[in-house]
Amino acid sequence: MRRLGLLAASAFFAATLPGAAQAQIGSARYAAVVIEPGTGQVLFGANADAPRHPASLTKMMTLYMVFEALRSGELQLDQRLYMTETAASRPPSKLGLPPGRSLTVENAIYALVTKSANDVASLLGETLGGGSEARFAQMMTLRARAIGMTSTTFRNASGLPDVEQITTAHDMATLGRRLQRDFPERYHYFGTRVHRMGTIALRNHNRMLDEYEGVDGIKTGYINASGFNIVSSARRDNVRLIVAVFGGSSWVERDRHAAALLERGFAQMGVGGGYGAMASQSAPAASLAMAAVGGTAAATALRRVRGTAQARAMPGRGVAGRVVPSRVAPARAVPARAATAAVARRATPAPTQKAAARVARQSAPARSAGRLSVARRATATVIEQGDGGSRVRATPERRPARRNPARPAR
């Protein structure tokens, strides 16, 4: 019966998700896969084996190596790690410990899971790599190949930009599965919402933990080259699914698309849907995203969603309205942004225009920085921010203002 259920799920995804498969704005960075972790069965995939940049999903592999070291006795949870100058120099997202300060291995685990701290990831890499993060990255790659991640190469422990650091959606879903299967006693770390270190509260970047019922991990990631990535695992009743989504234009779009795929997977596996605010919004969000890539077919599917369903998909409530066939077929393919904006204007009643505009702003790609001086532009870099949500420029410190020598100092 379980095998029949998996076969039925595969058929369901193949038949009903061609649009959703392209839903992530149709960019060249998009990839997605849904697997049943008990067997490793792939239920659905789009560009699942295409090379992608993992961003902070890399830290999942770093933690896999840490968990192995804990099991072998190479590390202890209460062991103290001392921040090095090299690790402390890593750009944000970071814990910000100065060189010489220390933290325990367990706090380091929490820092990776919640804060997605690049400095701590580098420190762990140096610790397990005999003082060399590059050597640790080689160890990560070899171990990844051994557990079935055949298309993954790591170059650092954090996921900070490196053109040679690549993976696939399928490989990362496989890693999520192996973390659950190989270290069930450690998997609870990925469900941490807030971890306190003294007076510091580290909040998890994974918003799906609160917005989609049943999600208990795993990790988010973002760099400019990858877009917004996520590997998420959810459990309902006795059914668990893992979804990996790469290349989102925002964390909102990425999370809603992942929720849509999970929702349909659970429905086909015979588990009830409609869990949480994100689940109620996921179907309209996925349909809107189709317009970005699907041309005529996608625009037709988009018009099948009633305006009432779009307008009433409020947090904490179900989606009101029904899906009805469209009476108007599009005459031609419409550019992605124009199609989405036009349909949103027609579908949304006047009282919700502000809310619709806010969602559109959240789902829009992050804008690049404005014009900078030559000196500041030369040092401006878009850097890792865990799951993103914002861009940060690393710029030189401002020069102190010139003081008028004729004016006495106060």
Mapped onto helix, strand or coil, the DSSP state of residue 37 is coil
List of residues 6+ apart from 153 with CB closer than 8 A: 141, 164, 165, 166, 167
In sign, the C-alpha dihedral spanning 192, 198, 201, 205 is negative
Chain CA centroid to CA 251, Å: 7
If phi over 0 gives left and psi between -120 and 50 gives alpha, with beta otherwise, what is residue 49? alpha
* DSSP per-residue letters across 364-408: SPPPPP----HHHHHH--B---TT-SS--B--PPPPPPPP-TTSP
- Return d(Cα 160, Cα 5) in angstroms, integer: 40
Helix (H) or strand (E) holding 125: helix 118-128
> What radius of gyration, in Å, describes the C-alpha atoms of the chain?
23
Q: What's the token pair of residue 202?
A: 């580290």
- Return d(Cα 330, Cα 297) in angstroms, integer: 9
* DSSP per-residue letters across 64-79: HHHHHHHHHTSS-TT-
- Return d(Cα 153, Cα 238) in angstroms, integer: 34
Give the active site residues.
56, 59, 116
Write the DSSP symbol of residue 289: H
Instruction: Check if the beta carbon of residue 218 is closer than 8 Å to that of residue 176.
Output: yes
Instruction: Check if the beta carbon of residue 23 is closer than 8 Å to that of residue 254.
Output: no
> What SS3 string covers 295-360?
HHHHHHHHHCECHHHHHCCCCCCCCCCCECCCCCCCCCCCCHHHHHHHHHHHHCCHHHHHHHHHHH
Question: Is 219 within any annotated ligand binding site?
Answer: yes
Asked if omega into 93 is within 30° of 0 (cis), the reply is yes
* Binding site members: 219
* Binding site members for substrate: 219
